[in-house]
Chains A and B, each alone.
Chain A
Amino acid sequence: MIQDFLFQAFAASAILGAVIMVTRRNPVSAVIFLVGVFFATSGMFLMLDAHYIAAINVILYGGAIMVLFLFVLMLLNLGHADWRDLRGPVGGLVGGSISIAFLGVLTRLFVGGADARPVVEIAGGALREAAAEQGVVGVVARPLFQEYVIVLEVTGVLLLVAIVGTILLARGERT
């Protein structure tokens, strides 16, 4: 019962944080609220016994990526509140329609029939059993490094290319 309550509390704060984040004018505030959202989702993962995902979510998103966001915002002194992302009625229209479409998909997921449900179904407690058997890291590590090792490596190469490309673009013609 406590677990249900906690899950719902985390879920509610995640949604609330996301809404606040989107409506902030100040980019730094937005980043901070986004971090809050990550923590709330990590809490939800914990409630689902996905300890590893919860920890990685905080380490990578909360502890590294968002810090870099914050860093860049502070470094470039972009914390001015007067820039708006959505400019003009066209921007508003596009943004609004995307939101409505997404809301429609979500509604169909929850309200629609069995065919609308996600394909992967995991029995309750399956994760906990697997974790007890292989340890929390093993549950994720084994499929990652055995079944999907090629996909993983390809993704790694892709990211490396992206990093090199970013550096090239950022250095520009200055050198």
Chain B
Amino acid sequence: MVRVAPLDGKAASHPSVRALRERFSEGARRVESDALGYPVVWIDPRINGEALRFLREAPDQAYDLLADLMGAHAGIGAPIQVWYQLWSMAHGRQLRIACEVPMHDLELDSVTDLWLAADWLEREVWDMYGVSFRGHPDLRRILMPENYEEGFPLRKDFPLRGRFSRSAQVSRALSRDLIDIYAVDELEMAGYAVTDDGGVRAPPERAAEGGAPGGIRDVSPDEQPEDALEGEPILINMGPQHPATHGVLRLVLQLDGERVVRCSPHIGYLHTGFEKTCEFREWNQCVPYTDRMDYLAPMLYNIGYAGAVEALLDVEITERCRVVRVILGELNRILGHLLWLGTTAIDIGAFSVFLYTFQERERIYNLHEAYTGGRITTSVTRVGGMMADLPVGWTAAARDFAATFPETLDEVERLLSRNAIWQGRTMDIGVLSADRAVSYGVTGPTLRASGVAYDVRKARPYLGYEEYDFDVPVGTAGDVYDRYLVRVEEMRQSVRIIEQALERLPGGPINIDDYRIVLPPKGEAMGSIDTMISHFKLVMEGVRVPAGETWYSIESSKGELGFGIVSDGGTKPVRCRFRGPSFINIASLPELVRGELVADVVAINASLDVVLGEIDR
């Protein structure tokens, strides 16, 4: 009999914890608290499917949003942890379910039937940790090449430089074996049958040409199917180099005429291993990696990451820092939405809008440059504060931007909102119902366009967002047009927030005065031995973050941006997970484009607002 640990006050009051305890007394033996305060229930990996089904389906639980599903590995020999980060829209509750999967039995029940979002997320855990999921319909690698055989990169026994056998790669590249060159579903689309042991059987017509193995007899003209007049479906590769995929995304499209029969997105071309690299960097050294993921709104990543680490440290940043972060975050939300607006317009053929929005982006970039010296790679935050205080005159420039920017927005709206062609191209295209959207884990403007008013800034306010007066625009139809309207309105709301924040921006220090966390000013470090020691320790070792774990999220321009961070008390993270909203949003693409035309694929893909740096990480 496993001893049931006593509950501390806060977690005990959480109704889901009590319910889980009652139902699975032995399975839910350990309950901890996240650094942010919400409960973490450790359950037996053998009952994970059952427990999660209960949490998803029981009416008083109803955790309908699987915000994240991630793995973590504490060290060589330790079990793999799998976290299920849940949110209930109806009850406004947050909960984390975690499993420790022993290395000798790396298997869990798949939850793809509960949340559609689990499809890609489970594939990622399989790809990175080798945890297999019973009942997953399509468990393949997702970020790494499908035929990668050299291990699971995020395990601790996998070296930072990777296991990379050049001879194996070369022999695969030169291979005539189809399975080495093409993805499984790509072969299926082309009519090949892939057997369980990895063999490939050619479709009848190819086999007749004698090009592929498994020779099947020639099809005589009399035996031609009746619909021979309808012709063959066309298989088309959209990307990875294609102007409308907004990065190195590859969509394999099966077309009937111009209508999409099937779409299979392929990602991972930009996989850089940021999560692995961060495990080998000090806490502050991770900041530059964060702005290279969503390079279209980099400061949001900086801010989110710093917030997550500060949650682990349990420090309160200064009021000035908080307001500055709000200003920068909203500026970057506008930056991201403007890029979205411009590129979507270009995809639908309205070129001029693109240049109008980019002129405004230039003004934001100028603000970036004035503050950080960088325009795209800003790295503006540090744990416990910012890289520096705002330069003189910066707030005036920001105020000027906030005052004049809505004019451009009005101009763009005049060009598009009531334009018959624009409406014809966007209305009723790529419709995502509210239920499907939540099940897919779609967040951000795309979710709100489907009519779900879920915004992290309102649901779980951070940085004092509850003190600002702003609205969350919500769509009704969930089509491309609503996503456009929602984003345009969000930009206006961001302007409102920026104006309020500029109004209340207090003086005082921007960094906290704890010299174990932030660098002391140079003058002080030279003056007192205590400060000098802190300075020395910070520079030589870095910040020490107490052991603990957190899953912290903010609302980025693309959706819920989550940071799953584990610390063992050292100067480097044990696990640094970035829940890029694009990764989860793009998983809904195959459903959205089915039955639409090629031109709509472009519009729908654009409307999801993905950035490949964040998808591939």
Contact = CB atoms under 8 A, between A and B. Distances in A.
A and B touch in their complex, CB below 8 angstroms: yes
Interface of A: 75-78
Nearest to B232: A77
Contacts of B230: 76
9 contacts: A75-B231, A75-B257, A76-B229, A76-B230, A76-B231, A77-B231, A77-B232, A77-B234, A78-B231
A76 B231 CA distance: 5
Contacts of A78: 231
A76 B234 CA distance: 10
Nearest to B226: A172
Given A76-B231, A77-B234, 7 more contacts: A75-B231, A75-B257, A76-B229, A76-B230, A77-B231, A77-B232, A78-B231
A78 B257 CA distance: 13
Contacts of A77: 231-232, 234
Nearest to B233: A77
A75 B255 CA distance: 12
A168 B229 CA distance: 15
A77 B232 CA distance: 7
B220 to A, nearest CB: 11
Contacts of B234: 77
Interface string B556-568: 0000000000000
A78 B231 CA distance: 8
Contacts of A76: 229-231
Interface centre among A75, A76, A78 (most CB of B within 10 A): A76
A75 B257 CA distance: 7
B206 to A, nearest CB: 13
Q: Helix, strand, loop or mixed for chain A's interface?
A: loop
Interface in B214-229: 229
A88 to B, nearest CB: 12
B235 to A, nearest CB: 11
Interface in B228-248: 229-232, 234
A77 B231 CA distance: 7
Contacts of B232: 77
Nearest to B230: A76
B232 to A, nearest CB: 6
A91 to B, nearest CB: 13
A78 B232 CA distance: 9
A78 B234 CA distance: 12
A76 B230 CA distance: 7
Contacts of B229: 76
A75 B231 CA distance: 8
A168 B257 CA distance: 20
A143 B81 CA distance: 90
Nearest to A82: B209
A172 to B, nearest CB: 9
A78 B229 CA distance: 10
A75 B230 CA distance: 9
For the complex of A and B, list the 6 residue pairs with the smallest distance between their C-beta atoms, beginning with the closest: A76-B231, A77-B231, A77-B232, A75-B231, A76-B229, A75-B257
Contacts of B231: 75-78
A75 B232 CA distance: 9
A48 B229 CA distance: 42
B579 to A, nearest CB: 43
Nearest to A78: B231
Contacts of A75: 231, 257
Nearest to A83: B221
B472 to A, nearest CB: 44
B259 to A, nearest CB: 13
A75 B233 CA distance: 10
Nearest to B231: A76
A69 to B, nearest CB: 15
A75 B258 CA distance: 10
A76 B229 CA distance: 7
B205 to A, nearest CB: 11
A75 B256 CA distance: 10
B494 to A, nearest CB: 47
A62 to B, nearest CB: 25
A75 B234 CA distance: 10
A77 B229 CA distance: 10
A76 B257 CA distance: 9
A77 B234 CA distance: 9
A76 B224 CA distance: 15
A20 B338 CA distance: 57
A74 B275 CA distance: 48
Nearest to A173: B226
Contacts of B257: 75
A77 B230 CA distance: 10
B592 to A, nearest CB: 25
A144 B234 CA distance: 46
A101 to B, nearest CB: 28
A146 to B, nearest CB: 42
B188 to A, nearest CB: 20
Interface string B532-568: 0000000000000000000000000000000000000
Interface string B27-41: 000000000000000
B228 to A, nearest CB: 9
Nearest to A174: B227
B207 to A, nearest CB: 16
B219 to A, nearest CB: 13
B197 to A, nearest CB: 33
A70 B70 CA distance: 54
A168 to B, nearest CB: 15
B7 to A, nearest CB: 63
Interface in B253-272: 257
A164 B418 CA distance: 39
Nearest to B257: A75
A112 B300 CA distance: 93
A120 B23 CA distance: 101
A98 B313 CA distance: 94
A75 B229 CA distance: 10
